[in-house]
Structure 1
Amino acid sequence: MRIVIALGGNAMLQRGQPLEAAIQRENIRKAAEVIARVAKDHEVILTHGNGPQVGLLALQNAAYDKVSPYPLDVLGAETAGMIGYMMEQELYNQMPGAQIATMVTQTLVDNNDPAFQDPTKFVGPVYGKEEAEALAAEKNWSIKADGEYFRRVVPSPLPKSIIEVEMVKKLSEMGALVICSGGGGVPVRKLEDGKLEGVEAVVDKDLTAALLAEQMGADALVIMTDVAAVCVNFGQPDQKKIHKASVQGIGELDFPAGSMGPKIDSCAQFVEKGGRFAAIGSLYDVEKIVTGEAGTWITNEVEGISFYEKKEEAAVA
């Protein structure tokens, strides 16, 4: 199968960990071990988040005031190269002799997207409430709650197309494991004369992954996160893990807009556009997720929603 795997930020930096290069590399090494096993039997296109990393670059950027701050699109390109380099190297160490390529790709957005008026995309490290409010006042940031913490938020317009998708296809067809659309891709708009220009935003990684999977004609989209499966009544005594669901079935449920909601929307979008299945689950279960034994599948090969039995839940928790 041709599979687009989207790694969440937890694959590189677990919540609360310091933004140290050595810590990120160790987490990426662990992720590479798992991805390499899937890549032995499937054609893999890999994408990833960059929220903590682009936020860190923005902080470093602001600390040096001898030059004007670099815009978010440039910082996004920097993170795609940095993270791609680490992933490429660690994957090669797991798959000696493999063809692995990192591409900094551009994602076309609509400059009139209403998201520019309502920032929602989390970037950078987490803060306590007082520190977040102080930074918001000092740097004119927008800040929102992220669980028990607070983080900076920036505009997140919808992705319209991936500029370099044909080159990604060619590399993949040549047998390369391609790492691309990092952080949702570098957001750009098209001017009246057809030229491209970067915009001050961060595109949602999962929505771009769904678009990438669609444009690549992938069989599956697998979104890796820090939960074993999508849950109904998450955190409540009657919490249940979803095993498989149709697009219609999953669409009848409500999920938080700031966390699971975009992932569900991305999966549903891919399946509606003809993908065989999309899945959400833990990185370390990815082999079982691909076979439908773990995680949550969204597919029109089933009707309604099925849940894991309690004994099965334990296997994927």
Structure 2
Amino acid sequence: MRIVLALGGNALLARGQALTAENQRENIQKAAASIAAIAREHEIVIVHGNGPQVGLLMEQNSAYQEYSPETTPYPMDVLGSQTCGMVGYMLQQELRNVDPSLAVATLVTQTEVSKDDPAFANPTKFVGPVYTEERAKELMACSDKIFKADGNYFRRVVPSPLPKAIVEKQQVETLLKAGNVVIACGGGGVPVCREGERLEGVECVIDKDLTAELLSETINADLFIILTDGSIFRHYGKPDQAEMKVATPEGLSHFSFPAGSMGPKVDAVCKFVNSGRGKAAIGSLFDLDKILVNEAGTLIQQGEGIEYY
């Protein structure tokens, strides 16, 4: 079975943890153990997040520019590609440490977006360090960057356009057919726009789960799994909450899920199931083997209604 796994942030960094290489490696070791257990029997593509990692690189860039003003900060597409290499390196090393027989390859992957996407007219995705309002206004006055209030501080905002195409789709296929576990589209992929025959990097952030869904369609995956904190719940956090075992896009359409957390994930799995290519699931990374046999997490498939545990 061909499976695309979208790893949530908890696979790389637990809430409240310092963003150190040691902490990330410790979490990745746990993730690798779960993934390696199913990689022996299935074709696996891993898509990981990179939000905290890019944020740290942006802060380091900003701090270095204060020391060396002529050294302009690297653009977000370049920073994104850096994190693809860093996180991919740790994942592929720890997967092989769990099972030396596994062949693992990390592919720095470009994801094409459209400059006509409405997201470019209204940047909303917060990235990078926090600033005072005064400093944010100074930065906006001397650059084309946009800053908005985020609580008591100001942060830069960038567009979050929809992914259109996976540029290296053929390379992903080739690596899979050669027997590799493939780590691709890290952070949603390096965002690029097409200018005639040329590809050029753009300053934006692509939703990792939406790119993973597009990749699942592109390579005809049998199963698309978003690995996060757990299953889909009806009325999560309320007295009548209930954990969903099996759901359908039609059944899920009757519920409202938070835009900042479960909402985009539900949208992504429903989109894949509605494409008619296969099934999808949402669940905990550490229940991955049970998710495959519908003993944990929420399985999403075509049909009607919802079944609860």
- Please, what TM-score do these two structures have when normalized by structure 2? 0.91
Aligned twin of 2:286: 284
Aligned twin of 2:37: 37
Q: Distance in 2 between matches of 1:235 and 1:150?
A: 30
Aligned twin of 1:257: 259
Change (3 A) 1:134 1:70: same
**Structure 1 residue 137: Cα displacement:** 5.6
Change (3 A) 1:303 1:132: farther
Aligned twin of 1:9: 9
Q: Distance in 2 between matches of 1:115 and 1:281?
A: 29
Q: Distance in 1 between matches of 2:236 and 2:138?
A: 36
Change (3 A) 1:110 1:303: same
Q: Distance in 1 between matches of 2:259 and 2:301?
A: 21
**SS at the partner of 1:297?**
strand
Change (3 A) 1:232 1:208: same
Q: Number of residue pairs matched?
A: 298
CA contact (8 A) 1:135 1:141 kept: no
CA contact (8 A) 2:40 2:102 kept: no
Mean CA deviation greater in 131-140 or 264-273: 131-140
Pairwise mapping of residues 9-28 of structure 1 onto structure 2 (< 5 A)?
A: 9-28=9-28
Change (3 A) 1:120 1:98: same
Structure 1: any 5+ residue segments left out of the alignment?
Answer: 309-317
**Structure 1 residue 272: Cα displacement:** 1.2
Query: Is it true that 1:70 corresponds to 2:74 in the alignment?
Result: yes
Aligned twin of 2:223: 220
Which of 167, 183, 190 does residue 179 from structure 1 map onto?
A: 183
CA contact (8 A) 1:109 1:160 kept: yes
CA contact (8 A) 1:13 1:24 kept: yes
**SS at the partner of 1:190?**
strand
Aligned partner letter, 1:230: I
Change (3 A) 1:229 1:88: same
Quote the RMSD (CA, aligned, Å): 2.1
Aligned twin of 1:311: none
Aligned partner letter, 1:218: A
Which of 140, 148, 152 does residue 142 from structure 1 map onto?
A: 148
Q: Distance in 2 between matches of 1:279 and 1:57?
A: 32
**Structure 1 residue 132: Cα displacement:** 7.6
What's the % identity of the aligned pairs? 55
Aligned twin of 2:85: 81
Aligned twin of 1:210: 213
**Structure 1 residue 118: Cα displacement:** 3.0
Aligned partner letter, 1:24: Q
Q: Distance in 2 between matches of 1:256 and 1:289?
A: 23
**SS at the partner of 2:182?**
strand
Pairwise mapping of residues 97-176 of structure 1 onto structure 2 (< 5 A)?
A: 97-123=101-127, 141-144=147-150, 153-176=157-180
Aligned partner letter, 1:307: Y
Aligned twin of 1:269: 271
CA contact (8 A) 1:144 1:153 kept: no
**Structure 1 residue 144: Cα displacement:** 4.3
- Residues 58-86 of structure 1: CA deviation (Å, up to 9, x unaligned): 11111111211111111100000100000
Aligned twin of 2:306: 305
- Residues 240-290 of structure 1: CA deviation (Å, up to 9, x unaligned): 111111111112211111211111111011111123211111100111111
**SS at the partner of 2:6?**
strand
Which of 175, 199, 203 does residue 202 from structure 2 map onto?
A: 199
Aligned twin of 2:242: 240
**Structure 1 residue 115: Cα displacement:** 1.3
Change (3 A) 1:117 1:8: same
- Residues 100-158 of structure 1: CA deviation (Å, up to 9, x unaligned): 10000000001121112333445458x8xxx786875675533546xxx9976532110
Query: Is it true that 1:293 corresponds to 2:299 in the alignment?
Result: no
Q: Distance in 2 between matches of 1:249 and 1:95?
A: 40
Change (3 A) 1:38 1:120: farther
Q: Distance in 1 between matches of 2:281 and 2:53?
A: 25
